[in-house]
């Protein structure tokens, strides 16, 4: 049963340890698969690129072969990306969101891929920040707590999976729904 919150209370929503571990396992599996796929692509691309270089070099055109050898930079870069992915160990932060009497604080999220955009730590003023619970639908198999804020013309949004929280998501919505001091 949810209890009533006052606007001066601090609410810290942490990730449930079991849910957090499950998400980290899934991220590690996906990161590993992406790394293996990148290395396989790099090897295949490198072999396809190497064949014309060998043919041109065997024909006696060393200058053209050297120029073609520069095209090996692309598969090399993809291979380096793959190795870096295999070394990556993504972790979830302990805290999902902290709502203080004056701010709403989100921790930085570690990128599961070198291709994913960075999610930096943010601190929003509590005044004007809203939260709602969106039920699972379509391809999304989990309900979300969606935080929104309008800063001038910029609409900001952060989401947290409601099923991985150790706090009742209704407490979070209630904490931001009431008037803040």
170 and 97 assigned to the same domain: yes
Q: Tell me whether residue 141 is in a domain.
A: yes
Q: Say whether both 103 and 77 belong to one domain.
A: no
By C-alpha distance, which of 106, 90, 99, 94 is closest to 14? Answer: 94
CA angle 156, 111, 154 (to 5 degrees): 10
| Enclosing domain of residue 64 | 31-87
Q: What's the confidence (pLDDT) of residue 45?
A: 93
**Domain check: are 44 and 99 in the same one?**
no
pLDDT at 37: 97
Q: Closest Cα to residue 133, out of 146, 120, 114?
A: 146
- β strands within the chain, DSSP E: 11-14, 95-99, 103-106, 122-125, 130-134, 144-151, 154-161
pLDDT, residue 180, reads: 36
Q: Is 135 contained in some domain? A: yes
| 119 and 54, same domain (yes or no) | no
Say whether both 74 and 140 belong to one domain.
Answer: no
pLDDT along the chain (181 residues), means of 10: 58 89 90 95 92 79 75 92 92 90 90 83 90 81 87 89 87 71 34
């Amino acid at each position: 049963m949810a209890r009533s919150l006052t606007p001066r209370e601090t609410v810290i929503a942490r990730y449930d340890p079991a849910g957090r571990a499950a998400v980290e396992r899934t991220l590690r599996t996906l990161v590993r698969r992406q790394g293996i796929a990148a290395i396989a692509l790099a090897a295949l691309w490198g072999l396809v690129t190497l064949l014309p270089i060998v043919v041109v070099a065997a024909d006696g055109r060393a200058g053209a072969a050297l120029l073609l050898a520069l095209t090996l930079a692309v598969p090399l870069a993809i291979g380096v990306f793959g190795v870096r992915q295999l070394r990556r160990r993504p972790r979830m932060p302990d805290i999902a969101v902290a709502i203080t009497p004056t701010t709403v604080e989100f921790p930085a999220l570690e990128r599961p891929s070198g291709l994913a955009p960075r999610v930096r730590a943010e601190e929003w003023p509590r005044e004007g920040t809203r939260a709602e619970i969106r039920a699972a639908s379509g391809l999304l198999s989990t309900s979300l707590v969606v935080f929104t804020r309008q800063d001038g013309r910029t609409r900001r949004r952060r989401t947290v999976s409601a099923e991985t929280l150790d706090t009742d998501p209704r407490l979070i919505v209630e904490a931001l729904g009431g008037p803040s001091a």
